[in-house]
Every structure is written in C-alpha cells, then in structure tokens.
Amino acid sequence: MHPIKSFADSKSETYQSNYAANRASVERLKEELKKSTLGGGEQYVKRHIARGKLLPRERIELLLDEGSYFLEIAPLAGVNMEAEFVGAGVVGGVGLVSGRQCFIIANEATVKGGAVSEIGSRKNARLAEVVATNHLPSISLVESAGADLPVQHKIFVPGGAGFKEITRRSKARIPSISVVFGNSTAGGAYLPGMSDYVVMVKKQAQVFLGGPPLVKMATGEIVDEESLGGAEMHSKISGLSDYLAEDELDSLRIARQIVAHLQPSITPNREQSEEPLYPADELLGIVSADVRVPFDVKEVIARIVDGSRFEEFKPLYGSTLITGWARIHGFLVGILGNNGVLLSESAAKGAQFIQLCNQQHIPLIFLQNITGFMVGRNYEEQGIIRNGAKLINAVSNSTVPAITVMVGSSYGAGNYAMCGRAYDPRFVFTWPNHRIAVMGGQQLAGVMDIIKREAASRAKVEFDEAKAAIAKQMLEAQIEKESDPYFATARLWDDGIIDPRDTRTVLAIALMAAYQKPFAGTMEWGVFRH
C-alpha cells in the first residue's frame, strides 16, 4: 500500500469557507448532544438524585473500565419530534467492561419513570439489533415503568419482539445481564425475567407485572410494593434475582464481576496501527459544506486510514467510485467511496470489488456521498440499470460486515447501492453536512413542476404560474427540512451524527464490535445480468 498524496490547500478560499461552515455544524452538533444528557428536565433529575440514586450516565461511567471509550448509538433519537425527549428515554452504546467489549443499555428514569415511548421502542429495537448482529454481551441498567400507556397502540405489538430477541440471544450464547435499580413494571419486569443474569439493588429494585393499585383492582388484594416485588423477595423467595446488591455501587461491581467470568472476546487479526499522515482537523476544510459541491473522497480516506496508505483497485476505470484496501487501527478493510454520480462502469467495478472482499473475508467501509445513478438515453443504452443492479445485488448478498459513513449527500438509489440503512450495515453514521432524500429539494420540486405542466397540457387547461411557483417553493422547503441530518437521526435512519474528526476512532470501535461475531465472505450471489 502506498500513501495517498494530498492536494488540499488549507490557505485557499474554498478550504477556509468549508472549514468555517463545517466547524459551525460541529458546534451545533455539540449543543444538540447536550440536550440528550438532560433527561426529563431539571425538576425530575433533582427528584431522582434526592432519592439517593445515580443518573443513568453516571451508572454507565462507573460500570465501564477506567479510560474506556463509550460509542453511543442514536443519542439524538426523537430530537425535535413532538411528544419525544431527546434520546427517547434510553441510553445505549459500546464500551469496555472488565476488559470485554459490551453493549450497555440504560433506562432514563427521569423521563416518565423510564416508560417506553414510540421512538424509544424503535430505538430499543435498534440497540438490540446491534447487540445480536455483533454478538456483544449486553448489560441493561433497568428502571422502567414499561410502556408509555397513552401511546400503547404504537408500541405494544412491535415491542413484544424485544423479549423474543433476548431469549434468542441467550440461545445463541450472547449473554444478557440486567441490573435493576428501581421500579420496573410490566415490560420493565419482563426484561430481567428474560435475562441470563439478574442483579437487584436492595431497598430500591421493585419488579412486578402489576403494581399494588392494579393488584387491588384485579384481585382485591392489598399489598405494599416491597412485599409484592422487592429485591429481597425476588432474591430469597421468587428466585428472579440471582444477586442481591447492597447499593448501586455494589450492583455495578457485581455486573463487572459477571462479565469477568464470561468467555473472552474474539481477538481479531490486526496489525500495528499507524497514524494518518494528515491531521483529521483538515476534514472540516476538505469536505464541502454544500452537498451540491463535489470533493475528492481520497482526501477523506487519507485522513482516516493507517499511514494514509491505500491500495486502490481499478484506479483508471469507473473513476466516480473509488475502491481499494487500507487499514484502520490495524484492521484490514475494503473501502468504497463516491467521487461523483454512479456510472455504469463504476457500478460494475463496485460489484467486483465487493466480491473480492468477500472472497478474502474483508469487512467493507462505505463512504457515501452520492446523488444517485446517472440518467439519460446514452446511459440507459450502456446498461446503467443492469450494472446498477449488479452493485445492489453485491451489497445485498455480501456477508462480510459493512459499516457506512454518510460524508455528504445520500440521494435516490445511490443510498441503496452504497449500503444504506435498508441493506443492514452493522453501523451507519453520518456527518453534520449530510443530506438524505429521494433527490434534492430543488430537483424534486422541479420534477413535480414538470409533471404538473405536462398534465395541464394534456388536459388542455391553463397552467396557473403563480400558484405553481408557490407550490414549488413550499415543496422544496419541505424536502429540505426532511433531508436534514437531524430529521434523519431523530427517526433512527442512522446510528448517530458524528464529528468528522472522530471518524477514524468511531470506525475502529465499530470494527472491533463487528469482529466479535465470526464471519466469512460468500461467493454465492443472485443473478447478475452480464
């Protein structure tokens, strides 16, 4: 592998303009992320602390090894959505516990007592998917009132899959540990009930399918919470609890102890890491703040891979898709990055490259900045659909781990061809400049305007120019709003918006997680239309 030669000019007007705009986007991201740490608001946070309880992020910090990373997944789920709290009432991410990479999930009890909202239910499903697909031991820090009853119709039926998946993970030898810190009712009770290991905190944990009011209504029985479902009852009588902790700190100690006796994690084959030749900070000046303006993805690769070394595959063919091999923190990876619209030859090249990586069991990194496939008569005649289908076929049937980072636009079928969310990459992260939609706002509004004009012409009716101009403007504004990265991340279309300068670290953590599940590439594909 040879180092990439960078041609970035940090003194140019374009670089400086990009840097200022992207730096502002990163600062906005930091402010938005702060909202995810506020829980249910100052009043409820104070009340929680007054009860002598730790906040969920404090529990996570104490559980993690000293100096461990914590890669949080979907921290901005629910942001700017009506009736949702930022983070959707749950914190989840990857970190080291007793030297083992684990996935930690913590209920935010200051948000409606840890009750699960609509987006919270979807986020829980995504967190469970990350656990299962990467074979990560999970530690649930439980304090949940179950379903948010006013929206039960949105979460009851799909929410049941969560309990099924816990038992399936147990069958697959993926351990689940529940540490119960407070009142856990209904669905909050089933979580420890399905876990492999259960720890309960004395005089805090209360686990029951129905609390005293429901019991009284259903049976007429009058019973207090501690007798009904307290930690000591479950530890001494019901047997639901495997460990009785004296306090929260003791419960976290026990959880760490449990992890310590699990089978050791898989050690991936990796070489000595080497820092890139160019500073990550330069990414802010290299990457266009406006997704309509192209930039060289090789400049991005040079700042995230070891030694900026990159072995490019087919460098003279299909140049709008860059493909090749590199290492990230010692992990060998195959990289596909967009350098323009996907042409027929670019798609064919990408499909071949994915096949080669599967042949050698090499994980894939997709750097997505794509407006879609090229359109037009000549391109149709050259087989853009046929070769585009080859690429989507390869992405769909590939069995090596894939990680996608959206470094610019993600429009149309290009999202599919470059392993968007629907194609099951292990992780999907985005940069703050990211935009995602069927097409850009101007293009979509323009297409709809043309369709309306042609319809009016066929119907031989007068076309209202003033009304059309207003409709076009409104539609463009709507699409721009809906393609915003915060709109996307709120709805879990990705696993989080990240600072571009953190990309190399994020990819390393994600790759370590991916290697915890043994994998092999495939040489079996659907029909290729040669």
* 70: its two tokens: 């914590």
pLDDT score for 105: 97
pTM: 0.92
- Assess whether pLDDT exceeds 90 at residue 235: yes
- pLDDT tens, residue by residue, 433-442: 999 988 777 8
Structural domain including 470 reads 441-482
Which 3 state secondary structure label does DSSP give 20?
helix
Q: Is residue 28 part of a domain?
A: no
The answer to whether 478 touches 442, Cβ cutoff 8 Å, is: no
pLDDT tier, 39 (very low <50, low <70, confident <90, very high otherwise): very high
- Assess whether pLDDT exceeds 70 at residue 469: yes
In one letter, which amino acid is 87? Answer: G
Give the mean model confidence (pLDDT) for residues 61-86.
95
* 450: its two tokens: 């043309």
pLDDT score for 241: 95
Q: Are residues 313 and 326 in the same domain?
A: yes
* 162: its two tokens: 């969560």
- Domain finish residue from 227, 260, 293: 260
- Assess whether pLDDT exceeds 90 at residue 474: no
- pLDDT tens, residue by residue, 120-172: 999 999 999 999 999 999 999 999 887 766 787 777 788 778 888 899 999 99
Cα–Cα distance, 225 to 138 (Å, whole number): 28
pLDDT tier, 376 (very low <50, low <70, confident <90, very high otherwise): low
Q: Are residues 175 and 314 in the same domain?
A: no
* 374: its two tokens: 């090229």
Q: Is residue 400 part of a domain?
A: yes
Q: Are residues 448 and 394 in the same domain?
A: no
- Assess whether pLDDT exceeds 70 at residue 240: yes
- Assess whether pLDDT exceeds 70 at residue 453: yes
Strands of 25-89 (E only): list them: 70-72
pLDDT score for 382: 66
Average pLDDT of the chain is: 91
Q: Could you give the count of Cα atoms lying within 13 Å of 462 in the half-sphere of its Cβ?
A: 4
- Assess whether pLDDT exceeds 90 at residue 251: yes
pLDDT score for 48: 93
Q: Are residues 476 and 492 in the same domain?
A: no
The answer to whether 499 touches 26, Cβ cutoff 8 Å, is: yes
Q: Are residues 179 and 322 in the same domain?
A: no
- Assess whether pLDDT exceeds 70 at residue 222: yes
pLDDT score for 414: 87
pLDDT tier, 252 (very low <50, low <70, confident <90, very high otherwise): very high
Q: Are residues 390 and 348 in the same domain?
A: yes
pLDDT score for 204: 93
pLDDT score for 380: 66
Helices 56-63 & 248-260 angle (0-180, nearest 10): 40
Q: Are residues 135 and 188 in the same domain?
A: yes
Q: What is the CATH number for 342?
A: 3.90.226.10
In one letter, which amino acid is 44? Answer: Y
pLDDT score for 399: 97
Give the mean model confidence (pLDDT) for residues 260-265.
89
pLDDT score for 432: 96
pLDDT tier, 218 (very low <50, low <70, confident <90, very high otherwise): confident
Backbone angles phi, psi at 397, to 5 degrees: -100, -5
